[in-house]
Amino acid sequence: MDIIEKNKKEMLEKKVWAVVGATPDTKKFGYKIYKKLKERGYTVYGINPNCQEIEGSKIYSSLKDLPEKPECVDMVVRPNISKVVLEEIKDLEIPYVWFQPGTFDEETINKAEAYNLNIVYYDCVLVALDQ
């Protein structure tokens, strides 16, 4: 089993997630991923500084504002935002990061690896949850 598959398996076993880019827009992946994780019994915190709540659940403006430290962060934002959020992930010592397709570039992945984070990329959590 390669490292990405190992990380993916470990992440799906973690029960406390943060979705960076969670949104109330039901057409967007930030909503679909947030909703699917909740439906599967995960504790999920939405992160979006431009949003107050999704379907009655409080949405936080940053990871440091959460009531507990997530075990895993799912990125559903542009690469330039992912890079900024990586700093917060490093500071909070969150071990797992899942980059949805389109949320990273080479620089983002290099930075995540330099921080010794366990990462998954080129894979969609929605697909993984249905396997």
Kind of pairing between the strands at 43-47 and 53-54: unpaired
Domain that residue 54 falls in: 3-129
Amino acid identity, position 91: D
| Distance, CA of 52 to CA of 30 (rounded, Å) | 14
Residue 93, domain CATH: 3.40.50.720
Q: What's the structural domain count of the chain?
A: 1
For residue 42, the model assigns a pLDDT of 97
State pLDDT tens for residues 13-25.
Answer: 999 999 999 999 9
- Kindly report, residue by residue over 47-103, the tens digit of the pLDDT: 999 999 999 999 999 999 999 999 999 999 999 999 999 999 999 999 999 999 999
